[in-house]
Structure 1
Amino acid sequence: MRVTKKLLLGTVIATAALTLAACAPSTGTTSPTESGEAGPAEITVGVITSETGPLASYGKQYLDGFKAGLEWATDGTDEVNGTKITVEYRDDAGDPDTAVGVAKELIGDGVNILAGSASSGVAAALAEQAGQNKVLFLSGPAAADAITGINDYTFRTGRQSAQDVATAGTFLGDLEGKTVTVFAQNNAFGQGNEAAVKAILGGKGATVNSVLVAEDVTEFTPFAQQVLAGSPDLVFVAWAGATSGAMWQAMSQQGVFDAVPVVTGLGDSATFGAYGEASEKISFLNHYFPGAPDNEVNDTMIEAVEKAGGTPDLFTPDGFNAAIMLVQAIKEGKGDVDAMVAALEGFEFDGPKGKLTVRASDHALIQEMYQVKLVSDGGAFTPELVDTVPADEVAPAEKQ
C-alpha cells in the first residue's frame, strides 16, 4: 500500500535538535516562526548544478528528477503549508569558482537553501559556503566521501563512494582472508578508490593490493598480466576516460575474466556500450538504473520524467530525493535554518530506491545498492538486476 505524500513528508524520526550560534537570512513576506505558527509566504531555493560543461548530462538527470520530485511532493502546487517554493536554477559549468560566485550572490539575496551539484569539487565548495554562511545545503550526486559530515548544514541526497566500494565487497561475501586487487589509473581518482578499498574492504578482513597505471599508458597487456600474477579473489576496477576501451580489451585478451571475478561501477546509460567483448563478463555495482527498484515512487518518477521529455538515468533519483527533503525541511522548519536542519536529521522517507534514512550524526543517506550485469539486447547492452544489497550492509562508516 502506498503511503500518502502528506503522511510520508511528515514522517520524522526525532534525534537531537541542533542549537546553533546564528540564524541565516530568510526570504518571503513574513519571518519564519516557531513550530505551530504560519511559515513565510515564499521561500526561494537555489539549485546549482551543471547545465553545461563536462558533467552536463549528470546535471540534467539530477534536474529532471528534482523537478519531478517537487511536483510529486507538493501535489503539483509548488507549495507546502501555504509557503510558495520558488526555485532559482543556476549553472555551475562544473567549476567550483563559478559555483561559489553563484552561491554568494544567492545568499546575498537572502536565499538560505541551496541544492546540487554533480561535481564533487563543486559540492565541497558549496558545503564550505553553507557552513560559513549557516545556510542549508542539500548535496546532490557528487560522491566524494569527504562531503558527509563536513558540517552541520550539509546533507546528502544521493549515495557516496564508500557505499560503492562496500557494494563491490558483497560480490565476495565474507572478506576475511580474501585478496582484492585494485586496478586503477595512477591519478587522484584512482588513488582515491585505492584508499577507499583499503579502508573499507581491508577493514573487513581483506588483503588489498594495487596495480596503478600512469594516465599516458596506452598498452595495458603487462598490467593485466600483473593483475593475474597477484592471484586475487576479486579485482576492483576504477577507470575513466578515453583509454577505457583498450584497457577492457587487454583484460579480456589476457584471460582475466576467466580467472577471477572483476567488479566495477556501472555508470549512466551512455556508458553501457563501453566495455566491448567484456560487457557480459563484468560484475557491476550500481547506484540506480530504472529497472532496479520495484515500487510506486520509482514508477511515478519514471512516468513524470518521461512525460516531460527526459530519460530516467543514474542520478535522476538524487534530484527526486532532494525535492522530498526540501519539502520536509520547509514543512517542519518554516524557513528557519536551525529548524530545517533538525527536521532532516533522522528523516525516513520512501524514495525511488525504496526506504531511505538521513543519518542524524553525519547526514549520510542510507540506501540500498545493486549488483547488476549487462546483457546483450538487439545489438546493444542493457542492465539486468542480479541482487539488491540491503542499505545497512553498505552503510558508510559513521562520522562523529
Structure 2
Amino acid sequence: MRRSTSSTHRSRILRTRSVPALAALTAGVLLAGCSAAGTAGGSSDSGGKGATAVEVGLVYSRSGPLAAYGKQYLDGFTAGLAYATHGTGAVDGHRIVVTEQDDAGDPAKAVAAAKTLIGKGTHIIAGTTDSGVSLQLAPLAAQNKVLYIAGPAATDALTGVNAYTFRSGRQSYQDILTAGTLLGDSKGKKVTVLTQNSAFGQANVAAVKQVLGGQGATVDSVLAPPSAGDLTPFAQQVKSKKPDLVFVAWAGASAPALWTALDQQGVVTSTKVVTGLAGIASYPLFGAAGSKVSFLAHYFPGAAHTAVETAMLDGITKAGGTPDLFSPDGFTAAQMIVHAVQSGSADDATAMAKSLEGWSFQGPKGAEQVRAADHALLQPMFTAKLTGTGAAAKPELISRLPMDAVTPPAQHMAG
C-alpha cells in the first residue's frame, strides 16, 4: 500500500450524493444508517480502456438521524481508496466502480438496495452504519456469496456470523474492554448500563454483562425508548440504583437532553460515568458534565499518530471534508477491498473473503488484523478526557491501547 498525494481521484471516481447536515450526535458505542442513491463510475490511468470493472456497492447512512456518520464513513472511504490504489482508482488493472445506496437506517430499504446491487453483478457490499441493518445484510451476503464489509455497525453479533461477513470498524466488546481499563477493578462493583432499547443498546448491555460481569461486577440496565424526548426519568432511575459505575451507550440527537438530565440529577457527580467519545459535533453537548466523564474512544483525529492516519487526514481535508469519528471505518474498508481484489479475485467473493482472513496491515489507527477464525477486526483503541467547554471542548488522549489489549474472545464461525 502506498500513500497517494493525488487530488485527482475524485474525477476518476464520480459520485452523486447529498451532503447531510451534521446532526448533533453522541454515543457510548455508536451505530449509523441512512439513505439516497448515487452511482459512481471509475476509470484509471493504470487500468486503461479495457480494464475490468470491480463493482462495489456502498449501502450506508446518507440521510436520516445518523447521516453525519455516513458522511464521515464516505469521506474516509474516498481517501482510503485513493491511498490504497495510489490515486488511480484501480488495482491490478481492475477499475473500482462504486455505487452508493442510501438505506435511511431502514433494514428493509438496505436489503432491497443490496438485492438490486447483487442482481446487477456486484460482488462487494460495504458501508453499513446501523447495527440493525447489518444483521439483515449479513445473511443476504452468505446466501448470495458476496463479500460484505460492515462499517460503523458495532453489534458483536456480526463477528463469526458467516464466512462472507467482515467489519471495518470496531465492535461493542472492544468498547467495553476499553471502558474496563478506565474502571479499574470491577470485582464486587455495581454497574448500570444506560442506553436505548434497540439492537445497539441491547448489544451494549450484553457486552457489559459479559465483560465486566465476567470480572465480578453486578450489571443491570436502564433502557430508554429511542424516541424518548424527556430523559429525566431515566436519569432518576440510574441514580436510584446507586451504582458504583454507570456506562452510557447513546446514539442520536437526544444526546444533549441526556447529558443535561444526568448533570441536573447529580449522576455525574455521585458516581463514575463512562461513555464513548462520539464525533466532533458531540463535544460541546456534554456541557458542564464533560469534564466529569471518562471516555473510551474508537477514534478521534490525531489519536493514533501513524503515517497512515496522516494520509487519511490529509486526504479528507484536501477534498474539503472534516476527519471525524468514523473516518477510519471508511478508510479501512477501502484498504480491505483493494487487498481482497488484489490478493483474491475480482469476481470471486469466496476467494476475496479467504484473502482477508488473517490479514495484518497498518490502518489509520495503527496495527490491525482480520482474525481468521471469526473475522473480528483486531485494532487499537483509545481513552480520553474532554477539556474546555462549548465550542472549545476537545479530547485529550489518556492512553493508546494496542489491539492485543482489547481483543474480543473468538467466536465459532457460523455456517
Give the TM bin, normalised by the shorter chain.
Answer: 0.7 to 0.9
Q: After the TM superposition, which of the residue ranges 121-130 and 340-349 deviates more from structure 2?
A: 121-130
**8 A contact 1:291–1:384 mirrored in 2:** no
Q: What does residue 289 of structure 1 align with?
A: 300
Deviation at 1:253, TM superposition (A): 4.1
Residue identity in the other structure for 2:274:
V
1:96–1:378 CA distance, 2 compared to 1 (3 A): closer
C-alpha distance in structure 2 between counterparts of 1:265 and 1:307, whole Å: 28
* Structure 1 residues 379 and 115: CA distance shift in structure 2, 3 A: closer
Residue in 1 aligned with 2:126? Answer: 115
Aligned match of 1:344 in 342, 352, 356?
Answer: 356
Q: Deviations over 1:222-266 (max 9, x none)?
A: 3353143x4x1x221233456544443343345443343210111
Structure 1 residue 56 and structure 2 residue 70: aligned? no
Relative to structure 1, the CA distance from residue 213 to residue 113 in structure 2 (aligned partners, 3 Å threshold; closer, same or farther) is: closer
- Between the aligned partners of 2:383 and 2:201, the Cα distance in structure 1 is 21
- CA distance in structure 2 between the partners assigned to 1:213 and 1:143 by the alignment: 19
SS at match of 1:264: strand
Within-5 A mapping of 1:230-379: 230=243, 232=244, 234-241=245-252, 244-335=255-346, 336-376=348-388, 379=391
Q: 2:400 aligns with which of 364, 377, 388?
A: 388
Summarize the Cα distance change of 1:84–1:179 in structure 2 as closer, same or farther, 3 Å threshold.
Answer: same
Corresponding pairs, count: 363
Shift of 1:131: 0.7
CA distance in 2, matches of 1:81, 1:186: 46
On the 8 A contact 2:58/2:98 being kept in 1, the answer is yes
Amino acid at match of 2:360: E
Deviates more, 1:370-379 or 1:382-391: 370-379
Q: Distance in 2 between matches of 1:243 and 1:372?
A: 22
Contact 2:131 2:200 survives alignment (8 Å):
no
Instruction: Pick which of 266-275 and 187-196 moved more.
Output: 187-196
CA distance in 2, matches of 1:103, 1:183: 33
- Structure 1 position 84, deviation (Å): 1.9
1:211 positional shift:
4.2
CA distance 1:384–1:362, shift in 2 (3 Å): same
Matches within 5 A, 1:211-222: 211-212=222-223, 215=228, 218-220=231-233, 222=236
2:393 & 2:198 partners in 1: Cα distance? Answer: 29
Kindly indicate whether residue 176 of structure 2 is the aligned counterpart of residue 165 of structure 1: yes
SS in 1 for 2:404: helix
What secondary structure is seen at the aligned counterpart in 2 of 1:272?
A: helix
Query: In structure 1, what is the equivalent of residue 37 of structure 2?
Result: none
Structure 1 residues 256 and 348, CA gap change in structure 2 (3 angstroms): same
**Residues of 2 paired with 1:216 and 1:290: CA distance?**
31
Aligned identity (percent) is 53
One-letter code of the match for 1:313?
D
Cα RMSD of the aligned pairs, angstroms, is: 2.3
Indicate yes or no: 2:240 matched with 1:223. Answer: no
Letter in 2 for 1:373: K
Is residue 224–residue 254 contact of structure 1 (8 Å, CA) maintained in 2?
A: no
1:40-86 per-position Cα deviation (integer Å, ceiling 9, x unaligned): 83221112112222222111111111111111111111121222222
Pair 1:206-2:217 in alignment: yes
Distance 2:117 2:391 in 1: 47
Contact 2:3 2:311 in 1 (8 A): no
- CA deviations on 1:324-344 (whole Å, 9 max, x unpaired) are 110110001122222111110
SS at match of 1:204: coil
CA–CA distance in structure 2, aligned partners of residues 307 and 164 of structure 1 = 31
1:383 Cα deviation from its structure 2 partner: 1.2
| CA shift in 2, pair 1:254/1:83, >3 Å | closer
Shift of 1:319: 0.5
CA distance in 1, matches of 2:220, 2:292: 22
Shift of 1:133: 0.3
Displacement of 1:5 after TM fit? Answer: 6.3
In 2, distance between residues paired with 1:241 and 1:100? 23
**Residue 139 (structure 2) aligns with:** 128
- Match status 1:399 vs 2:411: yes
**Structure 1 counterpart of 2:191:** 180
Rg larger in structure: 1
Partner Cα separation in structure 2 for residue 301 and residue 186 of structure 1: 34
Cα distance, 1:173–1:90 mapped onto 2, change above 3 Å? same
| Secondary structure of 1:196 counterpart | helix
Q: Which residue of 1 aligns with 2:115?
A: 104
| Corresponding residue for residue 167 of structure 2 | 156
Cα 1:337–1:192 change in 2 (3 A) is: closer
Contact 2:205 2:221 in 1 (8 A): yes
User: Against the structure 1 CA distance between its residues 188 and 331, is the aligned structure 2 distance closer, same or farther, given a 3 Å change threshold?
Assistant: closer
SS at match of 1:75: coil
Conserved in 2, the CA contact under 8 Å of 1:131 and 1:153?
yes
**Please, what TM-score do these two structures have when normalized by structure 2?**
0.81
**Deviation string, structure 1 residues 107-133 (Cα, Å, up to 9, x no partner):** 112111111111122222221211110
Q: Verify the 8 A CA contact 1:211 1:226 in the aligned structure 2.
A: no
Partners of 1:281 and 1:196 in 2: how far apart?
24
Partners of 1:330 and 1:340 within 8 A in 2: yes
* TM-score (normalizing by structure 1): 0.84
